[in-house]
Structure 1
């Protein structure tokens, strides 16, 4: 495998980021599948299975299931759903951090390992959660006031986690670093993430036909697969975008990025 050391590009290139993202996945398909299954696919499957069983019992008029409709049981289920949402949030951040590590290692000509990626993700967990909460609250509140400012904030912070994992700047330092790197390239980043969203929509449309035909547990499995795939693609695209933005802004090679782990 050869290192991805390229001449300094003049601008952020969507096509290049997409090509490199799929290339990273292709070269590390086993690693990506393992991380995606552990941090996204399996948790999604378990929650959807629990919800399917619960709702199926209510629809069928099962007395045991109907008993769950009382206020105390509904409160318990709501709390369980909230706990799962928090757990899924943390796991998604672990997945992103692990895939950032894998992406940089791969683009530097090395073979990323499962254990190393997990170790880096755990090491960065607390500040990564801080970034996740800040981005969710900041972009979310701005979107409530007006949609466009929320999108602009989110795009400005879209490479904060890669910046944290690579440069260890802390929560606010990484968010500030992300805004500096994305300045002047946010329309291109918007185009990139719009393409990824359309890819997800297209996959869901195709699989939706299968779900309508078979439904039940097949729908649960397909939902978990789609969730895992899109989480992986978005995380790797974010890491590749970080590399591309640093090359555009600073002419930084992938070897320079990797030195932080030496």
Structure 2
């Protein structure tokens, strides 16, 4: 990735053309909008082209993207399930808690114990999910970076390029998560605003090989003036992912309900059989949705750079088109 000059930020490439295209403006006369060495044309993208590019990337690099996503999803979901098992009795007690059947003091004690178990199991399950998501988002970013130029890439090559960025990306993810969470706690709208502003931190950090602070600044600069469009693309990706996840998970949820005889007992969903089935459904759904969302984010970053910084010219040169 470092061999491709187009990924450098403008201050690393002072002669790079700026403002090649205005926001939502068509390519100027003489441009070559049909140049498409990889999964997207090397020009400012329509929303549909971003989504199509993400899907095309997954289809062209199935072993890398789907394979890595399947492994990550399986490991994180299984570890999450195992983390919940020791607290299953507490969760079951919480589901079956009837304040009218016990004294107030007993209800408070049961509720406290159940909540401790619930949050303990959730926290232990979130750790592997966080690590897996960070790895997959960074790994997919590297693959999409090659896919934009139509370059072949192996797992070993992608890992070698991403490996130095893993720890900085983990730090950036934790920091952005903390900032966004604070925004959500005080009011939902600031949290959403910050989420969009920092949505491009991962591709900036991985592709530009910059520091954590610089990656936050780059994301803010690229989203500036295009917040609503960025929000719309991210929302579309989230809706598509949610629909896919629901469609995939529904049969496993029905199987879990059938295994318990469609019991009205709220604790029935916490049986081992139901949890295993829901975990299988989550693995399959995550294998599709996690890399899709990551790829959309990377292509959104590429689109913003082509619109705001004229990066399409550099990418065309890197792909063997245009002058030097």
Alignment RMSD: 3.1
Q: Which runs of 5+ in 2 are unaligned?
A: 1-35, 94-109, 257-273, 320-324
**How far apart, in 2, do the equivalents of 1:46 and 1:16 lie?**
36
Alpha-carbon deviation of 1:55?
2.9
After superposition, give the CA deviation of every residue in 1:82-124 in whole Å (9 maximum; x if it has no partner): 3442232122111111100000111111112112222233210
Correspondence for 1:246: 305
Q: Is this contact kept in 2: 1:139–1:153, CA < 8 A?
A: yes
Counterpart selection for 1:111 from 143, 152, 157: 152
Measure how far apart 1:79 and its partner are: 5.2
Contact 1:2/1:109 (8 A) holds in 2: yes
Task: Select which of 209, 228, 231 maps to 2:290.
Answer: 231
Moved more, 207-216 or 155-164: 207-216
Distance 2:171 2:71 in 1: 22
Output the TM-score relative to the length of structure 2. Answer: 0.67
Whether contact under 8 Å (2:140, 2:294) holds in the other structure is yes
Alignment of 1:1-262 (within 5 A): 2-3=37-38, 6=41, 8-9=43-44, 13-48=46-81, 51=84, 55=88, 81-215=122-256, 216=274, 217-253=276-312, 254=315
Count of paired positions: 247
TM-score, normalised relative to structure 1: 0.81
Decide which structure has the larger Cα Rg and report it: 2
In structure 2, what is the Cα distance between the partners aligned to 1:114 and 1:108?
A: 17
Are residues 143 and 257 of structure 1, via their aligned partners in 2, closer, same or farther at CA, if it must alter by over 3 Å?
farther
CA distance in 1, matches of 2:183, 2:189: 8
Tell me if the contact between 2:222 and 2:308 (Cα under 8 Å) persists in the aligned partners.
yes
Deviation (angstroms), 1:16: 1.5
The structure where helix makes up a greater share of residues is 1
